[in-house]
Structures are given as C-alpha cells and as structure tokens.
Chains A and B, each alone.
Chain A
Amino acid sequence: MSEQNDPMAEIRASFFIECEELLEALQDGLQELDEGGDDPETINVVFRAVHSIKGGAGAFGLEALVRFAHRFETVMDEVRGGRMTPDADTMKLFFLAADHVSDLVRACRDEAPIPESTSEELLARLDELLGDEVETEEADASDFTPLGFSMSLDLPDLEPEGSTFEIRFKPEQELFATGNEPATLLRNLCALGEATVRCNSSELPDLEDLAAEAPYIEWNITLKTEAAEAEVRDIFEFVDGLCVLEITSTSPDAGDDVPDVDIDAGIEVPAVLEVVAPSPSQPSAPVSKKSTKDSGEEAGGEPESKKGTAPAAKSVVRVDLERIERLVNLVGELVINQAMLSQSLDQAGLSPHSDAMNGLEEFQRLTRDIQDSVMMIRAQPVKSLFQRMSRIVREASAAVEKDVRLVTEGEATEVDKTVIERLADPLTHMIRNAVDHGLEKSDTRLANGKSRAGTVTLMAAHRSGRVIIEVTDDGAGINRERVFEIAVAKGLVPPDAQLSDGEIDNLLFLPGFSTASQVSALSGRGVGMDVVKTSIQSLGGRITISSEAGKGTKFSISLPLTLAVLDGMVVNVAGETLVLPLNVVVETLSLGPEDVQMLRPGAYVVRVRGGFVPLYDLGVMLGYRAHRKTDAGAIVLLISLDDGSRAALVIDGIQDQRQVVIKGLDDSFYRAPGIAAATILGDGQIALILDPADVIAGMGNPRGADIMLSERKIANE
C-alpha cells in the first residue's frame, strides 16, 4: 500500500492519531468514574470518546473495531441513562474493554491480526451486564436510543407522549469554527415532530459594526413531539458546550397556547442563514467538507470541555519528530559553535567592552532562547506514560490476583519526549515488580492490619532542575536478609561481607539478581533491576531505593530535564577538564589549612559555616592522581545531592560557566561510574560531564553496585 500519496492513507493516519487522544480521554474519564466522580459530564466524555472512535472506524471499514466499540457504547449508554450504576467489577470490565479498544485500534493501525477471542469474551461479559440490567427496556433497544441524563433540569427523564419543548439555541463562535451547521441541527429537530422555528436577530449589529466571524443570532424553537427530552438533547450532542442551549418542557395543553405560525423550518432556516449570518456559516462549510480531520479534531477537543465550559480550540501543528530532532541537533551545533567563537574572540584579546564582545553576549542570549524554545517543543506531559502504567497495574494485579490501586500524581509534569519513550520499559518493569514482589497477598495484608487493596503510587515532579519520578508501594518492604542470602548464594558478595541496609538494597541492581524464588509469568524473567538501572543511566539519570520493613518500598528516579544541553560549570582537575551540572553546585570555597579535618584516615570533612561536609578529592576519585598531602589552597565546590545531603569536591580550578551540548557516551565500550556524558569544548577537546552523586556513591560505598560492575567488567576482559 503506497502510504505516501494516498490521501486516504493520510486521513487514516490522522484518524489513528485522534484515536490516541480519544483513548486518553476515555482512560481519564473511566479513572474519574472509578474514583467516584459523579459529574454527569464524565460519563458523557467516556461515551463520546467511544462513539467517536466507532464513527471514525466505521468510515474506514474497520469492522472489528466498530462492532466492539458499538457494544461497549451501548453499555456505556445504560450508565449514561442512569439505568445502571457501575460497581467495582463493572468498572474493572470497563477498563478491560477500554484497553481492548486501544488494542483493537493498534491492531487496525498496524494491520495486525485482530484479537477476536478477547473481543468475544469481553463482549459476552458486556452483554451479561446489559442482559440483567435492562430487560424491561430492551423493547426499544434499537441501535441508538440513548435516554435522558439529567443536566441542570429537575425533569423526569422520560416525557409523556406529545410534550412541547421550548428550545433556545444560540450558537457560539466555536460552533462554527468547528464546522457545525445550525441548519442541519434545526432540520433534525423538525424531523422529531412539529416545530416552529423563529430566528431572533435582535442582537445583530449594523453592517459596519458587524464582525464577520462572530455569531449574533439565536433561534427559538417550539417543538411538539412525541420524543423524549433526551432525544431532543441528543440532536445537540455534538455541539454541547459550543452553544447556549435551553430546553424547557411545557405541558401538552400549554403548548397549544402558543400563537405561532407553523413554518416548515426546513425551508425557512437556510434562507435565514444565507441572509443574516453568511460569514459564520460560509467558512464553516468548506471546513467540514475538507477532511474528516477537522471534524475529528473537534471531537478530540470536545472531551476537554469537561466542566461544560468550551475552551477556545487550541490550534495544534503535528510535526514529524525527525524534523524536530534535526532542529535540536542544529541548535546543539550552534551552541558548540558559539562556544568556539567566544573562545577565539577571547584569545584575540578583545576588550570585554568592545562591540564584538557585546554582540557575542547578545548572541549567547539568543542562542539560549532558541534552545529553550526548541526544548519546549519536545516537552510532553508524562500523563500518557502514566496511563500506560495504569494498564500495566491492572494486568499485573489480575495476573497475580492481588487487589491493587494505582495513584498517580503530577501527571502534568513535562518531560522530554525521548525521555518519556525510553522510560516506558523501565517503569513497566518497576511497576510489575512493585505489584508482584513489593505488595503482599491480600490475606497477608489483612493479617498485618493493612487495607486489603495495595497501593502503588506513581509520582512525577520537577525538583531542582531535574525530573523526579517515584514508584512507591505500601507493601512489606525489602526483605534484606533474603536479599543478602540470595546475593551470597549467587556469589555476588562474599558471605562475610558486612553491608549496611542501603548497600543491601542496592544489591537488587546487580545483574542476574531476582528475589522471586520462583519465576513468575509476570516478572523475574532473568532481566532484573540492573536492566532498569542501565536504562535510567543511559538517560543520564539515577535510581535510588528506600525501603522500610512493613511499610513499603520507594524507587526514586531522577532524570535530567533535557537530553541535549546542560548548564555546566567547567572545572580543571589534575590537568583534565571536567563539566559539572551547574544546578548541583551550591557554592565555591577556597580551602584554608584549618578548614579540613580528618574524620578517620582517608576520610576528611570540611567545615562550612559550622556544619561538617564530607570532602572528596575529585582527582583521586576519578583515578587521575594519588592523594595529595594537603588540600589547603585548593578550590572546593559545595554540591547538594538529590537526597538533600551535601558534599565538597576538591578541584584545581574553575574555568567557566557555560552551556554545554551533551554528547552521549557509547556504552559498547565501557560505562565509567560517575560519568554521565561528554561534551565538546570550544577547542574541540572532549570534556566529561560528571554526575556528582554517582561519583560520590561510588566512593562512599566501595562495594556499591557500580564499582562492582566495573570491576567485573575489567575482570571479564
């Protein structure tokens, strides 16, 4: 199939992109329902999401998807109509069905085989729900008869036959902007019964004041119909939030009092439109014809109008990721280039007040702005990632038969797109671990006085220029004795090793470690936390564990905001140039002889304003030089670590503070502990970018996983 020039393929592609958005809205809505949100709009959002997917799928002849979505929609409709109150099991089924819809969408997109058997099974279960809940109303269960849901009216859902409605319908600008046509709506109204449509053009300004894009007119409709109010409302379903809509029902006899002239609205309304409101309706017509994309976007935007307020449609451009990548690379080159230029101007001995230097400063500022803007393009909220995780939790908890609740926090935290993509696998693994190993079985939980359902919390936040993602469970915590036993049994540590709790926890990150005594289907397939750690490290991040017996375990991932550029402090150590992330540096000091105190041989502390901070010689830690007799006179960087502790690093000199472009280090050779990445300096030399916390972790904890890893690697060679 030639995807390139086939307009249908293009539309199809955009349909699938919209599906992703709709599925997200669906997940959101279900989540809200599950948490007990009783806003009637929520169920509508869910219903509309499924409905829109069904509609689009129908247009592309995706039978399997249509069939499933339709039945799902029917059940949703029962809930919407208030005839069914979903209990916990029903919600679970809804989640499964939503997952399945997304599976089907993906299968259709990739033209993969449709998982028929799951469809059938879920459909059977959905039908079961329908079966015993709505037997009485099955009579009119034709395709599409959603009955009333109460909005602001205190009216009964079902109207007696032959009622009269007074409808006030005033379109807002968005209604036209999204390609809806009032005439069609009015015609549909007329089809329900005998309708009198009056056009109220009192707000229409004089011609010179008329804003071409703004709607001014409203319609008052008196509708005599046998249809229920819900059916009337249904007509306006897709313009909900885009117009002022008031529907009042009057008693049948009162309806006769209206001294109206019956006009066939089907003729009258288009005429009015042409004369009175040419501008809003005209542009809307081509929009709705142009492609399904625009109308689809409107449908995609709709669920966002959660609380009934219609936001102005955000205009969004979809850009090929490759183009952004290219832009990011170019900006990277620009930053390197700028550093080179600034260095050569510096060497030329120009006065710092010369025009060239001033221009350079301006140039630097612009570069930074461009860079920030480019990075913003790539930033995405972690919400999509978290939603995927909620599915993992559902599947994982079902597999091990535990009751698990996933709580997410900070979904709006924006992270670089690449980071999000590459976090999916490690997070999946951690979540599965938390469900499988972290949480206890329900009976054990009850016996320990905990709630039956375990909780896994997924949290994202920005903290001091980094992104923190935490996976917390309220399970039993790490069984350190067993971890140690297993590590000894696997020959990872000598049996007589004296390890602190933190060190034992870190054993989990060693390759080939798996605490599950039996390999379950879920986790423990031999790939362990070491893979998680490696993938986090390859993103320039760190992962730490903290665990409390009986209370639970917390994995904390700390990631850089972007993968491309870093504000760094360029320093000299033992003749080498190194870069430290600027955001960890708290202050710089010059050491006097009395500042350094020995804690014990080989361990020193430095006194900073009354507090003692451990002192590390960076040159020694990186193996560049041997211990010096005295550190007096050296320059010290005071850095703060993620856990709030501080450390002092001895360096030889500070060169500069500048932005550096991060160049990833190829892992194929060897991953140096403490080295996050590299960068290219103005003179073309490579400088290593340090991860201070990692350096110190490797130093303060000589048996730490990193050192062991590197030693093993060397030994292997």
Chain B
Amino acid sequence: MSDQGQTNDLELLTFRVADQEYSLDIMSVREIRGWTRTTPMPHAPDFMRGVINLRGTVLPVMDLARRLNLPSHETNDRNVIIVVKLQGTLTGLLVDAVSDIVAITEDDLQAPPDISSDPQLSVVRALTVIDDRMIRVLDLSAVVPNTSDEAA
C-alpha cells in the first residue's frame, strides 16, 4: 500500500505551552495572530479566555495551558493565538510562543504510553522526537470542546 520512501508526510507546527513543547498538524492551522486583549465571557469555563475580533467575526479563544491543566503564565506580547479550524468552526488557541514547522513522516510518530491516570494524555495523540526533544502531538478534536453532541 505504501510506496517505499514515500510514506505519509506530515508537517507539524510546534509551539511552547508552559515550557513544554506541543505540536499540531499544520493542516488544521488557519493563521497565527499576535496577542490581543480578549473580551472575557461571563461564567465561562476557566480555560476560556474570551472572544476576539477576527476581521469581523467573533472568535473564541482558549488558553491552552489551562486547558491542559498546566500552570498558566501571565500573558505578554510574545504570546500568540493560533487560529485552528475544526469541523468548520474556528477557534483560537493561546500559546506561549510558536517555535517551528517540522516535516516528519507518520513512522516518526509513537503512540503515547498508556498512563491512564494522566488526564492530559487523552489530548495527546502521539509523541515524536525532534533534536532530542520530545514533542507532543495534540489531538485537536479532544482539545477543542465539542458541544454539538450535547445538543442532540
């Protein structure tokens, strides 16, 4: 099925959240924006930072560190918002900084070891090693809360 030497290439956008390195499939990333002040939503879950104006549409922004139960830093100007698209909906993810774009193959990915007690694990789809650093590949659909099933 797979041609030799032509395995599925994968490009990952790597970024730092609370001094850890994470990554996302670059195909789900729409754009990267500098930090702007968010308008908080009342009574929103802790990880919801609020909403921002993305060229005329209202974009919800989520603090990825809080979402992953990591210590959240004060925001500064170097923070960026990664705008991702999942099932047609745009969401902003607040991260500390964007590092790099790396090209890997599916073979480079390892399944995360099964440590079920770690709540973070459910959102980490795979692990990979780049320059001796471990990079966590996020499962976007697990990170972005999906309320559409709730409506049913």
Contact = CB atoms under 8 A, between A and B. Distances in A.
A685 B39 contact: yes
A688 B48 contact: no
A688 B52 CA distance: 11
Interface string A607-648: 000000000000001111000000000000000000000000
A666 B53 contact: no
B113 interface: no
A686 B43 contact: no
Contacts of B44: 670, 672
A666 B40 contact: no
Interface in B22-53: 37, 39-45, 48, 51-53
A45 interface: no
Given A663-B58, A684-B53, A668 B42 contact: no
Contacts of A623: 42-43
Contacts of A673: 42-43
Chain B residues touching A, range: 20 to 34
Contact of A669 (B39, B43, B57, B60): B60
A672 B42 contact: yes
A304 to B, nearest CB: 42
B5 interface: no
Contacts of A668: 89, 146-148
Contacts of B147: 667-670, 713
A32 interface: no
Closest 5 CB pairs of A and B: A622-B42, A686-B39, A669-B60, A672-B41, A668-B89
A692 to B, nearest CB: 13
A699 B53 CA distance: 29
12 contacts: A534-B151, A622-B42, A664-B58, A667-B147, A668-B89, A668-B147, A669-B62, A674-B42, A713-B45, A713-B147, A714-B45, A717-B145
Contacts of A663: 56-58
A687 interface: yes
A670 B41 contact: yes
B150 interface: yes
Contacts of A675: 41-42
Interface of A: 333, 336, 511, 531, 534, 576-577, 621-624, 663-670, 672-675, 678, 680, 684-688, 710, 713-714, 716-717
A667 B147 CA distance: 8
A333 B53 CA distance: 13
Interface in B115-152: 145-148, 150-151
B56 to A, nearest CB: 7
Contact of A666 (B37, B42, B56, B60): B60
B43 to A, nearest CB: 5
B58 A670 contact: no
B48 A669 contact: yes
B70 to A, nearest CB: 16
Given A666-B58, A668-B147, 7 more contacts: A664-B58, A666-B89, A670-B48, A670-B145, A673-B43, A674-B42, A685-B37
